[in-house]
Amino acid sequence: MFPLYGFIITLVLEMANNNMKNFKQFLLEENQQIQCDVNGICKIIKSYESAGNEKKILSVYKDSKGFDTIGHGHLITKDSPKIFGEVFAEEEKVTPGFISGVLGGKKSLTPDQAEKLLQRDVKVRLPELKKLIPKFESYTPELQGELTSEYFRGMVTQSPNAVKMLNAGDFAGASKEFLNAKEYREAVAQKSGIATRMKNLSDSMASELDRQKAIKDKKEKDLMYQGYSSGPYAKAN
């Protein structure tokens, strides 16, 4: 009787674990947009694109290069009507002309709609970045966020040597090479916020190995503590 009881418990737990695994896969694979900030990626992008300008970004504005932009750094291009049609299909259905009004500067987004647009952009662009940098997911959240932010601006692809070094595990070399760019030198001279963003990515690459080591050391310390607290010499509660 007892062996059968134990078997049933084991089977139930295994089914629960499988369900949890499937749920996690569902969140990550089917609804990645609702997990936008899982690595702090959206948070970092918003800190650069819209921090302190939450109202301004709800309607069309000019970015640092003078291009029409809306939301948390969404550059308006010929593809924007199609993108908006996918993201704001319900809004357009309820309020015909919503999309053309927003893109034409006559209407504004709500904060939730701006977030929705960012979630779409991250979901679409992340696979591109992961293809460019295959080890992306092994990096710490800080570096992932900074890389994604600069990839959104198009600066990561403009520094192929830095990408090559990064993929080779040469974080220090990639850090220096990324700042070896005309845009960075011009941004420094103009005291532009772009210089800060580029420097932050450079610094993040340079310090990545230290962060990884700190995380590894903490995990090892936690495992040692767990072993001690549950071992034969553990103190009684």
Contact (CB, 8 A) for 125 and 107: no
- The SS3 assignment for 164 reads helix
CA angle 144, 195, 52 (to 5 degrees): 75
In a domain, 130, yes or no: yes
C-alpha distances in angstroms, 196 versus 182, 202, 213? 14, 10, 26
According to the model, what pLDDT value does residue 47 have? 86
Contact (CB, 8 A) for 172 and 140: no
Q: Between helices 41-49 and 111-132, what is the axis angle to 10°?
A: 120
In a domain, 164, yes or no: no
Residue 145 main-chain phi, psi, to 5 deg: -65, -45
Q: Which residues contact 220 (CB under 8 A, 6 or more apart)?
A: none
Q: How far apart are the first and last CA of the chain?
A: 33
CA nearest neighbour of 72 among 40, 42, 39, 49: 49
pLDDT, tens digit, for every residue of 119-142?
A: 999 989 999 999 999 999 999 999
**Mean pLDDT value across residues 139-162:** 93
Q: Structural domain tally of the chain?
A: 1
Q: Which domain holds residue 118?
A: 35-136
In a domain, 40, yes or no: yes
- The SS3 assignment for 68 reads strand
- Assigned token pair, 84: 């908006």
According to the model, what pLDDT value does residue 139 have? 94
In a domain, 30, yes or no: no
Q: Any idea of the CA torsion for 201, 177, 128, 130, to the nearest 10 degrees?
A: -70
In a domain, 114, yes or no: yes
Tell me what the pLDDT averaged over the chain comes to.
83
pTM metric for this prediction: 0.73
22 has pLDDT over 80: no
pLDDT, tens digit, for every residue of 158-200?
A: 999 999 999 999 999 999 999 999 999 999 999 988 999 999 9
In a domain, 142, yes or no: no
- Assigned token pair, 218: 């903490």
